[in-house]
Chains A and B, each alone.
Chain A
Amino acid sequence: MAKPAEQKRGVLPQRNSLFKAYLLHHARVFISSLGELTRRPIASLMTIAVIAIALALPSGLYLLLHNLNQISADWDSSAQMSLFLKADISERKVERLAQRLNLRKDIDNIKVITPEEALDDFIRISGFGDVLNSLDKNPLPAVIVIQPVVNTINPISVSQLLKEMKALPEVDIAQLDLEWVKRLYTMLDIANRAIWVVSILLGIAVLFTVGNTIRLDIQNRKEEIIVTKLIGATNAFIRRPFLYTGLWYGLTGSLLALILTNVAINLLEQPVHKLAGLYDSNFELIGLSFDNTMILVLISCLLSLGGSWLAVGRQLSKIEPS
């Protein structure tokens, strides 16, 4: 009765348990390669710090840009359009035009400023009351202030609206202070691209840093590699601990990068809140989202794994017993 069981526990493991042993081996290498890192704590920490800084920098820049976008989206909504009507338009016509415009879908709301109101405002603000009072006729036209509907972060629809407003027969001048918004968007776009370039360069830096660390690691363990090759280790077996070491670098490096980024955000939060308060805004600093965090960790792991793969591929074929 005991025989089949005995056989199953034979000399060479059966396929099923062989697979289990394989997984177990992977798990063991995964853990022992972490132990390998802790064995040279200073060297490992330096590598991890370099990775973390290289990752935290683009993350921080990304957050900065993201926050700027957020703020400028608020500004965009305050982009108003002023229609200076022709001087000879009657009050009734102004009223009718206002009603017509109010029905448009791309206009959020409008406000009519009669010439009298405008003059009152002007006198109040400018302090030229006496001079203006001496004029026998109010020189100011009626003005309709339009608040365009904010759709997305796209100034094109607004400039389209501006064009249409200019074409209206009642309108003398249609003015929109959108130029600076456009410029801001262009600048943000440039910044966005710059961040991409910086990110790619720093990503390559991570790749090479890990690659070089692993290369040194392989050099240091050359004897061991030769002996294991002579004992019958496959290249995959020899490669494995180095790849896992690379993975650990990526994982710990990205975690440190997350800590650095979040500490920086926390340090900035108070003053930014204060500043926003001064501007009467309830703007809140945006930190890294869960998705951002996951992507950062994933990219770091992939880059580090890639770096160690490069090093291992190049070095292992060079190390053969002789």
Chain B
Amino acid sequence: MIRFDNVSKQYPGGFEALLGVSYHLQRGQMAYLTGHSGAGKSTMLKLISLIERPSRGQIFLDGVNLNNIGKGKIPYIRRNIGIIFQNHQLLFDRNVYQNVALPLIIAGYRHQEVSKRVRAALDQVDLLNKEKAMPITLSGGEQQRVGIARAIVHKPGLLLADEPTGNLDPELSKEIMQLFERFNQVGVSVMIASHDLNLIDEMGYPVISLDDGQLVRNDLALGVAS
């Protein structure tokens, strides 16, 4: 699903965020991305979601070489990724339903289809009774679940989560992780950036670890370099 092939990223100014990183997350696999802050986790997620471009090397997403994707095609690549942010990035002037429906409206789904899918997504995160609520009235955990519903409502092939449990207590964190597990069980590839090592150990999924931009642990089988 995600294949990094000797990827380096140097920011303007010379900072090397990633150095020769290679790994392959198979379709349907779930993995954790760890490393202390500044190790390159965010850079890696930004490269996958085409917010940044690699300085060297190639990234394949579902078999597509991202280096060949022009600016105008970026939105269509992103539609196959569900991104979950640490601060969930909900739109606070819209209710839960409208927030979750956004990816479907962007993709041009029909009205009936939209409401059907939004309800299904809200049901999966157990928030069906809050569809009319404004995000500001929800608890932190609930807001994060709305963010997750928004990320999965259009059934993307890949879920990317950036510190999804960063602001939650251990109990809620575990719930959220189990939610990701459920999505993974129905075939969605999942990559979760997290520093919650205890929880990661407990969940027992492959881990890739970054330190100073270099891969120091890779539980995933290395992709065949072409």
Contact = CB atoms under 8 A, between A and B. Distances in A.
A18 B107 CA distance: 10
Given A224-B91, A321-B51, A322-B51, A231 B102 contact: yes
A21 B109 contact: yes
Given A227-B89, A227-B91, A232 B110 contact: no
Contacts of B102: 228, 231
A32 B43 CA distance: 37
Interface string B35-70: 000000000000001010000000000000000000
Contacts of A18: 108
Given A224-B91, A321-B51, A322-B51, A231 B109 contact: no
A21 B110 contact: yes
Contact of B79 (A17, A22, A232): A232
Contact of A233 (B72, B75, B91): B75
A309 to B, nearest CB: 18
Contacts of B93: 224
B9 interface: no
A234 B109 contact: no
A229 B110 contact: no
Given A13-B113, A224-B91, A21 B108 contact: yes
A13 B78 contact: no
A224 B109 CA distance: 20
Contact of A234 (B51, B75, B83, B105): B75
Nearest to B82: A231
A230 B162 CA distance: 13
A237 interface: yes
Contacts of A104: none
Determine the interface band of chain B, counting residues with CB < 8 A from chain A: 20 to 34
A230 B83 contact: yes
B225 interface: no
Contact of A230 (B78, B91, B108, B109): B78
B49 A230 contact: yes
Given A229-B75, A230-B49, A230-B78, A237 B111 contact: no
B106 interface: yes
A184 interface: no
A13 B108 contact: yes
A25 interface: yes
Interface string A303-322: 00000000000000000111
A321 B85 CA distance: 12
Interface string A214-232: 0000000001101111111
A231 B78 contact: yes
Contacts of A17: 110
Nearest to B91: A224
Contacts of A230: 49, 51, 78, 83, 89
B103 interface: yes
B103 A232 contact: yes
B78 A25 contact: no
Interface string B121-135: 000000000000000
A223 B88 CA distance: 12
A232 B89 CA distance: 14
B15 interface: no
Q: Which residue of B89, B93, B150 has the most chain A CB atoms within 10 A of its CB atom? A: B89
A231 B91 contact: no
Interface of B: 49, 51, 72, 75-79, 81, 83, 89, 91, 93, 102-103, 105-111, 113, 150
